[in-house]
Amino acid sequence: MNNRIQSILGVLAVAATSISMVAADKNSTPAYLDESLPMEQRIEDALSRMTLDEKIAMIHAQSKFSTPGCPRLGIPELWMSDGPHGVRMEIAWDEWDHAGWSNDYCTALPALTCLAATFNPDLAYEYGNTVGREARFRKKDMMLGPGVNIYRTPLSGRNFEYMGEDPYLSSVMVVPYIKGLQSNGVAACMKHFALNNQENERESINVEVGDRALNEIYLPAFKAGVEAGVWAVMGSYNKFRGTFCTHNDTLVNKILKGDWGFDGVFVTDWGSCHNTFEAAMNGLDLEMGSWTNGLSWGVSSAYDNYYMAEPLKAMVKTGEVPETVVDDKVRRILRLNFRTNMNRHRPYGALHAPEHLDVARRVASEGIVLLKNEKAKLPIRPGKFKRIAVIGDNATKKLSIGGGSSELKPKVEISPLEGLMEVYGDAVAYSMGYASGIADYSHEEPSPYDADSLRMAAVELARNSDVVVFIGGLNKNYKQDCEGGDRLSYDLPYDQNRLIDELIAANSNTVIVLTSGNAVAMPWLDKAPAIIQSWYNGSMGGVALADVISGAVNPSGKLPFTIAQRLEDYAAHSSDERTYPGVDGNVHYDEGVFIGYRWAEAKNIKPTFAFGHGLSYTDFAYSSLKADKKEYSPEDIIRLNITVKNTGHADGAETVQFYVGQSHPRVARPVKELKAFCKPYIKQGESTTCTVEIPASSLAYYNEDNKQWVLDNDEFTIFAASASDDIRQSISIKINNNLIALK
């Protein structure tokens, strides 16, 4: 009897069993299918009906992006998709090739660095909701995002997928994203837990970091997501203190599931599992993978060889792993089923709707950061110039492509050149300037163009134009902003610095637009009159950039990371290879809590542009910063009011940032740390009162000796700022208590 006949007979046998069960009890609905019953009761009922084989099948993959469910009980497959910025194109069942569908497009949202730069939690909800609606329409049950790893080094290839260097900003922005996405009955899968702060040797690097930095810098955004009710969390490839994070008892059992009470599914990154017993006992719930043995080898369609498949079943049968351990994993997956594909009340979703394009456009335009604008070179009003030279490969490059697993297949992606031509028409002339080749996940494709010819043609165009808009930066090529490899240099690639110097020499009226998810060196800073930090801005990126350059939108983005003058000005690069990229497989976070602006301020390092920096086409004046009291106990909320007036000549939004510094700390603390922000939109000549609340407990530090949060009895200064280096107002308050441990 051949395998096909055996398979058919097996299916018929299961069907016959199911029919007999229904016939025996045709008037009753199994408890697990009764949505009127409490979810936990339904979970226990379903679990009680499952065989060991069915349980094991549920906790590992059946294809690149799905798990099998339990067909006998009518529990559906779980389908997942990459893409924190949109729903990725379909991938083949057991290969990494694109499936080649014609209807697997999406709306490409701007990268998460752009979302963070908006400092707008309301937009974060709309962003997450848009991704969730499109995922639901595409019949996905889980989206693999958002990412909340911290920007530690500007070389990290995946920083564009994250929300910058500050744990408070990341925490505030990730919560509405998760809620918006999950409102569609699609799970968010927050990633990568934890300490995946470099792509170099990501599959094996061991991170050594102190408990204080872990709790104050690298875990807060994850904790915020769990408290917001995220339904899934993804482990990271790297190790933490010698054990892979995907089956790390400290991170998963003690912190995630223990201290934080996470009730969702903890899933591998693809191929990040390395040991059956550790995976079983240290909290891993679901194994997905690129290969059948971690990341080292692969066999086609060998999902039963996964660590959490036949090897785990064998351990259960011998008693080495209790079946109750498997039961806990299945409970969590069933809970995910009931929240997603077994929820009959979830909405249907929508794909590439006009409102989705509107969200993409607003996120992009609010996230674009005006870094410099000497002599008001910007905005460039339509009709002001007869000839506008647009120069640079990124003006035409499709930047939703490439970058690794966050690649997208947008139905529409309007390039910067297209957006500018729509506004300025025949005044626009284009020259490539430099060539960056084709974006590829694993290597960099060489360009067929002659670099000298491209540069000379661009400079000639600049010389004969009224104004130049250079659109360059990084892209999603391998070892730039791309998964799987870090940047090799802090400088711009493709000899762009030379090109920029020659463009400015040919035409002093030159605007520099940098498209990237990372900071870059700017040796031409003093010569460039206007600089814009743009991002990978998705479907409507070209429209949004044209909106800002033309003045149709007043820029309001703020930097979510520090742009340093030199690579050595970042803490991770301030000493030797021990702190980056690591030595003998270990990387040491010797800087502790001092990263980004915290490091720069502690070491009196002047950045090129500070965290939180971002200019406007108008001006804002701050006044009357007040707190509701002078002294607070640890249980209190500090309520602050400040008046902000638009003193310029255009309507606009301003992000008021509130930092707090301690006067006489018992341990080394940053000069100040972001603890709140607000973003009012104010018409020219008008003013508004901005109100924020800061829990006094959030001023505590983590004491490594007693493993507790401690709030000192001390004086604290609250700074109201337009950027971390632009303080406008300050007041002092007191915390009135002795050393007290906080939960």
Q: For the residues 367-390, what does the mean pLDDT come to?
A: 96
Checking if the pLDDT of 432 tops 70, the result is: yes
Residue 390 and residue 432 in contact, taking contact as beta carbons nearer than 8 Å: no
Tell me the two tokens of residue 715: 């004086």
Checking if the pLDDT of 456 tops 80, the result is: yes
Tell me the two tokens of residue 615: 């200019």
Checking if the pLDDT of 2 tops 80, the result is: no
The pLDDT of residue 448 is 87
Query: CA 235, 237, 239, 240: dihedral to nearest 10 degrees?
Result: -30
Checking if the pLDDT of 530 tops 50, the result is: yes
CB-count exposure of residue 585 (10 Å: 0-12, 13-18, 19+): exposed
- Report the distance separating Cα 723 and Cα 728, nearest Å: 9
- For the chain, the straight-line distance linking the first and the last C-alpha, in angstroms and rounded, comes to 64
Q: 742 pLDDT band (50/70/90 cuts)?
A: very low
Checking if the pLDDT of 439 tops 90, the result is: no
Nearest to 428 by CA among 440, 416, 445, 413: 416
Checking if the pLDDT of 739 tops 70, the result is: no
Q: For the residues 711-722, what does the mean pLDDT come to?
A: 97
Query: Which of 20-29, 276-285, 523-532 is predicted with the least confidence, judged by mean pLDDT?
Result: 20-29
SS3 content of the chain, % helix, strand, coil (to 5): 30, 20, 45
Checking if the pLDDT of 49 tops 50, the result is: yes
SS (H, E, C) 598-622: HHHHHCCCCCCECCCCCECCCCEEE
Positions annotated as catalytic residues are: 269
Checking if the pLDDT of 362 tops 60, the result is: yes
Per-residue pLDDT of 636-688, as tens digits, reads 999 999 999 999 999 999 999 999 999 999 999 999 999 999 999 999 999 99
The pLDDT of residue 15 is 44
Strands (E), 418-459: 428-431
Q: For the residues 476-495, what does the mean pLDDT come to?
A: 95
- Report the distance separating Cα 306 and Cα 319, nearest Å: 19
Q: For the residues 338-363, what does the mean pLDDT come to?
A: 97
Q: For the residues 54-69, what does the mean pLDDT come to?
A: 97
The pLDDT of residue 738 is 55
**All domains in the chain, ordered by first residue:** 48-339 (3.20.20.300), 360-561 (3.40.50.1700), 620-742 (2.60.40.10)
CA distances from 95 to 63, 79, 236, 274, 301 (A): 9, 16, 22, 21, 9
Tell me the two tokens of residue 129: 């909701």
The pLDDT of residue 295 is 62
The pLDDT of residue 294 is 59
Percent of the chain whose pLDDT exceeds 90: 90
Checking if the pLDDT of 366 tops 70, the result is: yes
b/e 328-360 (16+ beta carbons within 10 angstroms → b)? ebbbbbbbbbbbbbbeeebeebbbbeeebbebb
Checking if the pLDDT of 440 tops 90, the result is: no
The pLDDT of residue 713 is 94
Checking if the pLDDT of 23 tops 80, the result is: no
Q: For the residues 273-302, what does the mean pLDDT come to?
A: 84
Residue 158 and residue 483 in contact, taking contact as beta carbons nearer than 8 Å: yes
Q: For the residues 380-394, what does the mean pLDDT come to?
A: 97
Checking if the pLDDT of 20 tops 60, the result is: no
Checking if the pLDDT of 163 tops 70, the result is: yes
- Report the distance separating Cα 546 and Cα 249, nearest Å: 50
* Residues sharing a CB contact under 8 Å with residue 130, sequence separation 6 or more, in sequence order: 107, 109, 180, 355, 356, 359, 360
Residues in the chain: 743
Strands (E), 154-297: 187-193, 206-208, 232-235, 239-240, 243-244, 265-267
The pLDDT of residue 302 is 85
Q: What is the mean pLDDT of the chain?
A: 94
CA distances from 288 to 84, 470, 483, 696 (A): 18, 43, 18, 42
Checking if the pLDDT of 12 tops 60, the result is: no
Per-residue pLDDT of 186-217, as tens digits, reads 999 999 999 999 999 999 999 999 999 999 99
